């Protein structure tokens, strides 16, 4: 009887270690709530996400159109906003006519060891793949002919400047979104 009780405790202990290992090795994922997932936040952002066609829209901290950025972006800075996740979203709507495409002006985080940064831009009209190789680059993606849009930016990796030997910044980053332009 004592051996059965001991065996039972061993099984429970092994099960707890196995469950912890799945979490430790990122097999069990925790998804935080989506920013703006409540009705009041969505309603407040709705008017702020209406954008004009043909204008270069800054994504800096003081820019009025920075509200089109959703999950996956860091805190807006004076010159733009870092993509700080593997996946980030833009949400916007045009008022009068739909846009045919979106241009994103991206400045990648690169180093001597990381000379290019692959990104994928997905919309309901298709997928655009780009390799950011330095400096600022415009990347164009098609949009469906709808007023309301979601653009998904996927980075292959996010890295910290510290890990890349560029400085003490420990934030995980991909590229900085400097501006967005919607084409008629």
Residue 29 — pLDDT band, cuts 50, 70, 90?
Answer: very low
The mean pLDDT of 57-81, rounded to a whole number, is: 95
Return the percentage of the chain with pLDDT > 90, whole number: 71
| pLDDT greater than 70 at residue 66 | yes
| Superfamily for the 51-183 domain | Galactose-binding domain-like (2.60.120.260)
Looking at every residue in the chain, the average pLDDT score rounds to 86
Q: Is the confidence at residue 128, as pLDDT, over 90?
A: yes
What pLDDT shows up at residue 25?
47
Integer Cα distance of 151 and 91 in angstroms: 7
Q: For residue 21, what pLDDT is reported?
A: 55
Q: Check whether 168 has a pLDDT greater than 80.
A: yes
Indicate the burial class of 36 (C-beta count within 10 angstroms; 0-12, 13-18, 19 or more).
Answer: middle
Res 47: pLDDT? 77
Share of the chain above pLDDT 70, in %: 78
Question: Does 1 have pLDDT greater than 50?
Answer: yes
Above 90 in pLDDT, residue 134?
Answer: no
Q: Where are the domains of the chain?
A: 51-183
């Amino acid at each position: 009887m004592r051996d059965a009780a001991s065996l039972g405790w061993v099984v429970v202990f092994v099960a707890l270690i196995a469950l912890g290992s799945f979490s430790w090795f990122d097999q069990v994922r925790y998804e935080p709530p989506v920013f703006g997932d409540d009705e009041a936040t969505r309603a407040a952002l709705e008017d702020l996400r209406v954008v004009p066609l043909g204008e270069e829209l800054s994504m800096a901290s003081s820019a009025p159109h920075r509200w089109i950025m959703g999950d996956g972006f860091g805190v807006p800075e004076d010159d733009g906003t870092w993509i700080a996740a593997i996946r980030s979203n833009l949400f916007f709507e045009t008022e009068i006519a739909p846009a045919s495409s979106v241009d994103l002006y991206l400045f990648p985080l690169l180093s001597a060891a990381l000379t290019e940064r692959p990104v994928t831009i997905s919309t309901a009209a298709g997928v655009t793949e780009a390799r950011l190789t330095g400096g600022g680059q415009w990347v164009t993606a098609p949009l469906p002919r709808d007023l309301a849009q979601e653009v998904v930016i996927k980075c292959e990796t996010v890295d910290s400047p510290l890990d890349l030997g560029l400085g003490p910044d420990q934030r995980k980053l991909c590229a900085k979104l400097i501006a967005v332009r919607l084409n008629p």
